[in-house]
Chains A and B, each alone.
Chain A
Amino acid sequence: MELFTNQVLAGIATGAIYACMALAVVMIYQAIDHLNFAQGEMAMFSTFISWQLMQWGVSYWAAFAITLVFSFIAGIAIERILFKPLTKAPVLTNVAGFIALFAIINSSAGLIWDFTIKQYPTPFGSSPFLGSQLISTHQAGMIGVTVMLLVALYFFFQYTRIGLAMRAAASVPESARLVGINTSWMIALGWGMATAIGAIAGMLIAPVVFLEPNMMGGVLIYGFAAAVLGGLTSPFGAVVGGFLVGIFENLAGTYIPGVGNELKLPIALALIISVLVVKPAGLFGRHIVKRV
């Protein structure tokens, strides 16, 4: 039993990483209705920016704030310059665009900062949390930040004018445009926010997985899985999905014989698919009624 609780705790700790990423994925899905395959690479790039700032002697929190502002603007710029011309193109062409963006960012980051693994500082320290060896203070801090972010997003979307406008633009663009919402800018805003949230996720994850251009590969897959499991329409679902995926992954690695590190990912994905077969819109997703 102790092994079980320990593994669940460890799962929650890794799950926090996925939850962060899943939140960013859901944000952009809400705004543009696609999964952004380059999201992880964008987060990685932001994290490198903050690392570079700290190398130049900027303090952690100042670098954090500057990176957030930078990511927000960069996200909007990417949408305006690269993806706005593709609004009328087919969906699959947009997906190809994300893959192209992925390749560009990954390769430029490799050229600027090279592929060596770098240490990344944590503001929370890394001593055991409340005497538990399994969760460090950094991981506890990460869970805390994720939950805070979720609450902030909830208030933003429920109680602000602009949040309401963004929701309207995402769910019924035509009607939103008729009541005077600039839907095109709402999409850009969605990109900016998603990139900023991705940057937070990147900066929180970097101390755990270390900083390098490919750091997000695995994390993004789990982030997608978490977002899909929780339901792509629900930020709350994404966070719950993140924790569930973390726990799934750890328990599969512990209890199913013959499952090493290699098979953890396929098994976690297989479990998620089984859940989706029963609940096709994800655990907390809104079921969309189709009309012919």
Chain B
Amino acid sequence: MSAAEEVVAEGHQAVAAVPKRGMTLGTGTSLVVLAALLIMPIFVKNFIIFQMTMLLIYGLAVLALNILTGGSGQFSLGQSAFYAVGAYTTAVLMEHFNVNYALTLPIAGVVCFAFGFLFGQPALRLSGVYLALATFALATAMPQLLKLNFLEHWTGGVQGLVVTKPDAPFGLPMSQDMWLYYFTLVVVIAIYIFAVNLLRSRSGRAFMAIRDNEIAASAMGVDVALYKTLAFGVSAAITGIAGSLGAIAVQFVAPDSYTITLAISLFLGMVVGGVGWLPGSIVGAAFIIFVPNIAEGISKGLSGAVFGVLLFLVIYLVPHGARQVAILGQKLAGKLRKN
């Protein structure tokens, strides 16, 4: 036995093991949430609808990171790069080639999948902080790459590109914001169902086996290299689609909207929502969208400090994120039913 030996045991991994049933909501709760999301826009103003759209989009991006980290145990600080690639794919296709906005989403997904899969190759040999550094490098490089001179004709350089917001089709009596909200909602639900099923499939089990114990997984015949890069690809594709939707919703893409700050926000969203708990993604997204605004409202000069304090409060109260709250709620409901 050498001194530099580490026993990989229960509770020792970076990402806690979550059983796959613990990753999703029950049918009843899902339907209630869905109904709330469907009815909500009828009662609120356009600006709030826009914020809800952004909430869904960030939720989707956090979900993508959740599949990567919570599912396969790989850590990424480079999600903003995939988000940027998706956003730019949509913007370039819409503005230079007049492609319909809905068609740009799958294209962005495919482009990002390829990008993520290729990036996953060199990242294979890295794990933990080393992987964090590699993905971090990607995130810092992306805004600079988008500003490069020879791409300026397509990307618009530092100025970025303006994207036209689509009207509701078939003459539906809806504002643009409301139409975009429902469009986003449909895409998000489709991807959520895909993600849930993915994690329940053979591939999902392979991801989780790698997360829980890589060596044991490979001994059991899981192709570790393939599934690790696959997880990167899927996560990148979903992030890219979120980026596309984001570009359409904000109507503007520019290199400096996709800096490392975005990647860090998405990471915080994942932690607050609960690593490995897919529905938590939307809770995490709400945290990263609304809490900075609340912090600004409390104190303009100290908004960063207020944000930090609020974040500390959240991780003290619920170190496992919203998942912990959900589990607690479930237990309470179970007790009530028994009585």
**Number of interchain pairs (Cβ within 8 Å):** 154
Query: A52 CB to closest chain B CB, in angstroms?
Result: 19
Interface residues of B in 130-160 (CB under 8 A from A): 130, 132-134, 136-137, 140-141, 144-145, 147
A266 to B312, CA, bound (A): 31
Question: Would B8 and A108 count as touching, CB distance under 8 A?
Answer: no
Partner of A101, one of B2, B7, B308: B308
Query: A58 CB to closest chain B CB, in angstroms?
Result: 27
B162 at the interface (CB under 8 A from A): no
B24 at the interface (CB under 8 A from A): no
Chain B interfacial residues counted at CB < 8 A: 55
Partner of A290, one of B6, B15, B145: B6
1/0 per position for B106-144, CB-CB distance to A under 8 A? 000000000000000010011101101110110011001
Interface residues of A in 81-107 (CB under 8 A from B): 82, 85-86, 88-93, 95-97, 99-104, 106-107
Chain A interfacial residues counted at CB < 8 A: 49
B residues less than 8 Å from A95 (CB atoms): 267, 271
If A97-B315, A266-B141 touch, whether A277 touches B305 (CB-CB below 8 Å) is no
Question: Would A289 and B5 count as touching, CB distance under 8 A?
Answer: yes
1/0 per position for B251-271, CB-CB distance to A under 8 A? 000000000000010011011
A97 to B136, CA, bound (A): 18
Interface of B, secondary structure class, is: helix
Query: A178 CB to closest chain B CB, in angstroms?
Result: 15
1/0 per position for B310-329, CB-CB distance to A under 8 A? 01100110011100000000
If A104-B305, A111-B302, A286-B4 touch, whether A99 touches B315 (CB-CB below 8 Å) is no
A148 at the interface (CB under 8 A from B): no
B34 at the interface (CB under 8 A from A): no
Question: Would A93 and B302 count as touching, CB distance under 8 A?
Answer: no
- Sample of 24 A–B contacts (CB below 8 Å): A89-B319, A90-B16, A91-B14, A92-B14, A92-B15, A93-B319, A93-B320, A96-B272, A99-B311, A100-B308, A100-B312, A102-B308, A104-B305, A110-B301, A262-B147, A272-B133, A272-B137, A273-B122, A277-B122, A280-B125, A290-B6, A290-B215, A291-B7, A291-B8
Identify the 7 closest CB pairs spanning chains A and B, nearest first: A107-B304, A266-B141, A269-B137, A89-B319, A104-B308, A103-B308, A100-B311
Interface residues of A (CB under 8 A from B): 35, 82, 85-86, 88-93, 95-97, 99-104, 106-108, 110-111, 171, 221, 224-225, 228, 232, 262-263, 265-266, 269-270, 272-274, 276-277, 280, 286-292
Interface residues of B (CB under 8 A from A): 2-8, 14-16, 69, 75, 122, 125-127, 129-130, 132-134, 136-137, 140-141, 144-145, 147, 213, 215-216, 219, 264, 267-268, 270-272, 275, 301-309, 311-312, 315-316, 319-321
